[in-house]
Structure 1
Amino acid sequence: MESALLAQTTPESGLSLRLLGPIEVTRDGVVLALPASRKLRALLGYLAVAPRPVGRSRLCELLWDLPNDPRGELRWCLSKLRGLLDTPQRHRVATDGDSVALDLADCLVDAVDAGRAEAGDAEQLRRTLALFGGDFLEGLELDRCPHFDSWLLAQRRHFRDLRTATLQRLLATLPAGTDEALALLDGWLELAPFDTRAHLALLDALAARSQPGACEDHLAAAARLFAAEGLDFAPVRAAWLAARRPARPTPAEARTAAPAPPSSLEHFAAARRAALAVMPFQGGGGARGGLADGLTQDVITRIAKLRSLFVIARGSVFALAEQGLSPQEAGRRLDVDYVASGDVRQDGNRILVTVELVEAKSARIVWADAFEHASGEAFAVLDAIGDRIVASVDNEIEATERNRAILKPPGSLDAWEAYHRGLWHMYRFTQAENAQARQFFETAVRLDPTFGRAHAGLSFTHWQSAFQQWEDRDSHSDLAYAAAGQGLLVDDRDPAVHWAMGRALWLRGSGDAALAELAQAVDLSPNFALGHYALSFVHSQSGDPTAAIGASDQSRRLSPFDPLLFGMLGSRAMAHVRLGQFEEAADWALKAAARPNAHIAILAIAALCLALAGRVDEGRSFAASIRRTQPAYDIDAFLRTFRFDAEGAALFHRAAARIGLG
């Protein structure tokens, strides 16, 4: 059916590409035979939706597990793509220096068209919905390609969410209870089987068709589904019963009745945080005490200082452990979302710590790792291991909560979920995604005005608008400062709000005050990776470049897979420039530019550092890539973005002249 749809809407070029479902290429309505290579198909899908040319090093990192000749394999794949897509009149596989792109501007690419589609009327919504023939690159999986797996998972979530939103908009235009509405509701529940709104909408539709028996059947089936996943179905049933309740107050009664207090469910939805229990680590042979208890206490304290989670106190978890409860049983008893547990063993002159983070309700392992160190100074070793455990637990929970929030309809989110949905959009680092992130942070703040991190997230979106020069810098600097100030008012012990304030002060030109706020962030929580990164960012431009390198390294030790890793690497590159270490600067800048969410300022750092290192051709390639995205971009735009001292600005001016960005 989907192939027929593509054939009916064949563009003038005759070339169509289906990515929403099993990948398929058609020319003039004829399905082309694709090469058998799964990596070639993955490369085609990746390049087809890439917003800008992609470096060869990034493509090699994405798709090849360090074979003997990854660039040779990439060249083979590109030659096969040319044979598939190119014609004598049009070369669609474009290479420019080290970058690769597909020229599909006059082709039908269902994923691109679905992403660009505007809401429109019911007919337009039906056309958009018809583009979704399945999951993005359905059936395509690669072995030992973690970077590609991560990208593919994010794309599938994005398009599933887009499909759900389109479906909901179309439902809103239809009368309840029609056959089309019921079919759409079935599709919604297939995409989001635990979405309360979808269940209630289906019950409303069945009631509109006078089918009370079908309503009861659906309630019973949905209750079994929720129970199988350990989820509470009672709020859905209660909401349905309340909606069906026939007794309503008269207008006079309604005018005189006192407003109802918020329900406990509404209060919980506004104020909830993910809860974590860190169970006592066990020593050798399952024993407790000594180093194991010390590490447990240290991890509990450090995670609590981050203030991103509700952490069960030491006394409670140790008391339950004394009763012999397993971590999963203790998690259910404490009614937490996550449980961390592990053990500490000494083997000769080695200390081995294993850790496991489990989702309490499903018993699903979210993350597990083992840390091994030479014993040396035992407490120093455990301190280093504790750093890694705290950062990993915090990051893994945040990633899990972000991924969960992105799968839920926007209107059903509570404050915690809206905040994490905002993070998901924020970390895309585009103007459109930043605007969406801001809306979700505003929702989180409205639902829970005491949520300091939501204020910090809102501040960051204004910071991005100013820093990236997407909107007026002065006004958004003020908005970033105001949002950070609100965060400090509600929770001045949260390192994230001091981080937001430090960045806002830097935007306003108060470098010393910014450093003081950022220092306070890491004093409150030495494990707060973004605080160390922001210190590196400020020092790298006009402060102490040696301190910038140390802070960059510490931020990456604490959070080696951070969404802002490109900034951590880029800050180190700028610090090396100010130290006159241009080769080192170029190496670090290339690592930053290779990150998938690196924005144009990071690409500019790479271009300029390469020029300073004498690698002019590579620098020009990056400059050309920048100019394709922003034709007017030059050194003045770069220097308006950052705040270098006079000597640093002069170095970058010299570099720009070499590569045509002057």
Structure 2
Amino acid sequence: MGADEEGTLARLKGVRNAVVDPTIAAHRGRIVKTTGDGMLVEFASAVDAARCSVEIQRGMSSQNENFPQHRIDFRIGIHVGDIIFDDNDIFGDGVNVAARLEGIAEPGGVCMSDDAYRQIRGKVDIVCADLGPQALKNIAEPMRAWRVHLGGQSTAQQVSSASEAPVLSLPDKPSIAVLPFQNISGDPEQEYFADGIVEDIITALSRFKSLFVIARNSSFTFKGKAVDIKKVGQELGVRYVLEGSIRKAGARVRITGQLIDAASGSHLWADKFDGSLEDVFDLQDRITMSVVAAIAPKLDQAEIERSKRKPTEKLDAYDYYLRGLAVVEGATKDENEEALRLFYKAIEIDVNFALAHAMVARCFTLRKANGWMTDVAKESVETAKVARRAAELGREDAAVLSRAGYALARVAFEPEEGADLIERALALNPRLSSAWQFGGLLKAFRGEPETAIEHLAHAMRLSPLDPSLYSMQTATALAHFVAGRYDESVFWAEKASREDPNFLPAIRIIATSAGNAGQLERAQKAAKRMLEIDPAFRVSGLADHVPLRRPDDLARYAEGLRRAGLPE
């Protein structure tokens, strides 16, 4: 418009008459209203909307080839939802979501909600890329979205594009990711210390409800890599990135940090902090406060005080705790047992160390999930004991409460008590990815699939590059199973299984959901893989693996496994 106002207006009218309006009419669409260079259109079905959108964008691509100096690119967003009619206009969340999806579409592209995608999947000959949960402006919860690939690409290119990390939209509040700090101590053994300090800084920042903080598991996917800060901001969907280094020499420690605006690459703040090991918690507080002052200066004093909490007064206990953190999420039984030993050692030194108790409970949860328990009854009793002690000591610490709550529900079979602790954790810290994940799982177990899916979508947005994303995807598959949406359940479980081909819960859901959906070949293939990994599995022992609360859910799960051919 700035270069040629009249020519642009004439061109816009031309493409509407030649491409846009006739295509909408051909697909039974109704133009509700126009808004300058945009329009709101209502369709009888999502299939009509998708076909119309693709045809418009392909038509516009051809038009733009003929007018390279005067190209016009539209973005299109599609959503299925309730609307309110008022005279000739329509209103409601359905309209708002479509408008937000249009905003995150590429120029010349189409972006649709998961609700719309479910309606058109298998009915429209297009390739779509999963963008994952998206934080849309003025929409309360993150929504899963899909990008349509519009042809002109080979199949290989389409698959490649579909697997690219999505560019996530920015939350409405200040958003930050803390990258792993570089260990410049000259001693690789100190790596655990540097990582632990960063985790504590992330935890402190996440206690500020006015900040959106990416979870540690996603931030640490950049560990040991030369990073492009702008790309980090795009992949994690944040405005700011904190990076730095740690040098530990004897009883002295130096921490440096720099805060960067990911969009522009400009440095907003940089400083170094020196002190003795006894000052380490004070150094963490000073870094946290400096970052917060730079990006969100108006904060409630209660939040500031809540962020300044020493996990323990005894540094030897803290050191064992950090060493345990470095191995707790390892993939082997030996790593799990080493983590247990280290956390118990921390508790020996400080019997009131809440986080150490919570991490012991976490170790037992992982032992249960992976079949590593040697005495199930004895270890279940110990889990309940240590989880309750953790909750008692850390009643104001969301990380403690969420881990303790999930351990009580999953291992000690105390679902109500566990759910209460997780709800309290979310009230204390709504930025804690693991609390949303554990809460989502418990909601699925309790037969509340829609709430479960919302919780899990939020967890994935808070940690979009999480190495254990497959676990959240598997939980989402379970929620869809509970809701009776077997095709969607298989979709999510297969997505998880591609990330970790040996993850039994995902394979098990493929077997039962495909079995219930009548997809017997797919179900039998999954059942065969299950027995290769766990030859002792029997349908009769299902309740110990999947603690579904409603008898009908458990019965459907068992029936699907029987149809898949698994032994009773």
* Larger strand percent: 2
Quick check: which has more Rg, 1 or 2? 1
Q: State the TM-score bracket (shorter-chain normalisation).
A: 0.3 to 0.5
* Larger helix percent: 1
TM-score by length of 2: 0.47
TM-score by length of 1: 0.41
